[in-house]
């Protein structure tokens, strides 16, 4: 039996949810370019697409958004749990615990779009409430007239967010919704394949997401942009770093061997908004300088901008602290996780891979 470490290259399922093509730099959501959806669509529209397989018409979208607002309600026992967990508990662990405490009776097998919508609508509330509790701030109730991204920012800060920041965060969240059979999505599908409930599948997915090799955060990119400071210093700083053998954070990707389509979409968004926020303007300038110098210092390495570079500019511009980076990513990815759980349920067969035994054999035959 051939050994494949980490299941790399092994096909575990067929899916019509998304295509991740690293060689050609393609990311497709149900027949649509993800980068175009990020620029032209709302979070709610793309969630509808991933769950139902098509974009909504006007009537469908209005009904969908109405249900979304109605589902912005955190159960009282979950709120009590958020207040009781020790302050030092990492936010991703809090999120995992809070999700696991949601009523299983409302999320019993088989999973449904209604269940997916309910948990997607409530995840930002869990994160925002806990963040404010940790910082000794009063809780802020959802504002029904705000969409998903805007309401999340409002519940974190108590201030109606700037339109440029909402647009940028929406694009980031759309591009974070789905990315093929990654570790957290696979974890969720494995749990769902046992006919366990949606909550259990999402709890497993969050557990995988909080691992540093998966969820990650653009913290180091932000540190780099902070160190550069302004456009005038960009080229000298980058050249000095490369000459000393240092790494430029936010460039290169394990899957994409060409331009990361998510970075391409976020570049377009930040370029359009660069006149409205100095961090967007700096990011656009630094990326151009870095690409030029990487080609000069590391020719043939195919080091292109990845999604974390522009995610960092967005997080820095909207003032999101680093503790919120991976939870915010999870607020987006729950759409993809639940889409995969729904797909798994429709064609279910329990996952049961084999392993290769590498331990010692007994020295004697056991007598019968």
User: Active-site residues: which are they?
Assistant: 253, 308
Are 172 and 332 in contact by the 8 Å Cβ rule? The answer is: yes
How far apart, in whole angstroms, are the C-alpha atoms of residue 173 and residue 147? 13
Vertex 287, ends 306 and 291: CA angle to 5°? 85
Nearest to 182 by CA among 44, 6, 3: 6
The token pair that represents 272 in the structure block: 């359009």
3-state secondary structure at position 197: coil
Are 151 and 331 in contact by the 8 Å Cβ rule? The answer is: no
Give exposure, 190-213, as e/b (b: 16+ Cβ within 10 Å).
bbbbeebbbbbbbbbbbbbbbeee
How far apart, in whole angstroms, are the C-alpha atoms of residue 207 and residue 104? 18
How far apart, in whole angstroms, are the C-alpha atoms of residue 345 and residue 352? 16
Nearest to 329 by CA among 241, 236, 246, 214: 214
Q: How many CB atoms lie within 10 A of CB 86?
A: 6
């Amino acid at each position: 039996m051939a050994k494949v470490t980490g299941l790399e290259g092994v096909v575990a399922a067929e899916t019509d949810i998304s295509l991740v093509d690293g060689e050609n730099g393609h990311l497709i959501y149900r027949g649509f370019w993800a980068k175009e959806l990020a620029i032209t669509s709302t979070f709610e529209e793309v969630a509808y697409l991933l769950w139902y397989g098509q974009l909504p018409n006007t009537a469908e979208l209005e009904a969908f958004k109405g249900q979304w607002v109605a589902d912005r309600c955190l159960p009282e026992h979950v709120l009590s749990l958020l207040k009781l967990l020790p302050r030092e508990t990492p936010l991703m662990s809090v999120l995992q615990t809070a999700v696991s405490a949601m009523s299983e009776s409302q999320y019993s097998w088989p999973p449904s779009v209604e269940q997916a919508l309910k948990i997607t609508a409530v995840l930002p509330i869990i994160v925002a409430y806990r963040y404010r509790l940790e910082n000794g701030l009063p809780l802020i109730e959802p504002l029904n007239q705000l969409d998903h991204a805007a309401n999340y920012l409002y519940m974190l800060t108590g201030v109606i967010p700037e339109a440029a920041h909402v647009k940028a965060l929406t694009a980031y969240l759309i591009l974070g919704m789905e990315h093929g059979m990654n570790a957290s999505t696979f974890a969720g599908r494995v749990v769902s394949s046992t006919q366990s409930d949606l909550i259990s599948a999402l709890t497993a997915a969050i557990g995988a997401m909080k691992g540093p090799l998966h969820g990650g955060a653009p913290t180091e990119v932000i540190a780099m942009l902070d160190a550069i400071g302004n456009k005038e210093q960009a080229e000298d700083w980058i050249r000095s770093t490369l000459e000393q053998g240092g790494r430029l954070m936010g460039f290169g990707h394990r899957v994409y061997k060409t331009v990361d389509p998510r970075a391409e979409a976020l570049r377009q968004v930040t370029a359009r908004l660069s006149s409205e926020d100095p961090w967007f303007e700096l990011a656009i300038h630094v990326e151009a300088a870095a690409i030029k110098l990487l080609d000069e210092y590391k020719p043939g390495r195919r080091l292109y901008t990845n999604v974390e570079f522009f995610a960092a500019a967005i997080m820095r511009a909207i003032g999101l602290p680093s503790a919120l980076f991976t939870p915010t990513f999870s607020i987006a990815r729950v759409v993809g996780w639940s889409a995969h759980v729904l797909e798994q349920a429709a064609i279910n067969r329990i996952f049961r891979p084999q392993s290769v035994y590498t331990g010692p054999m007994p020295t004697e035959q056991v007598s019968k």
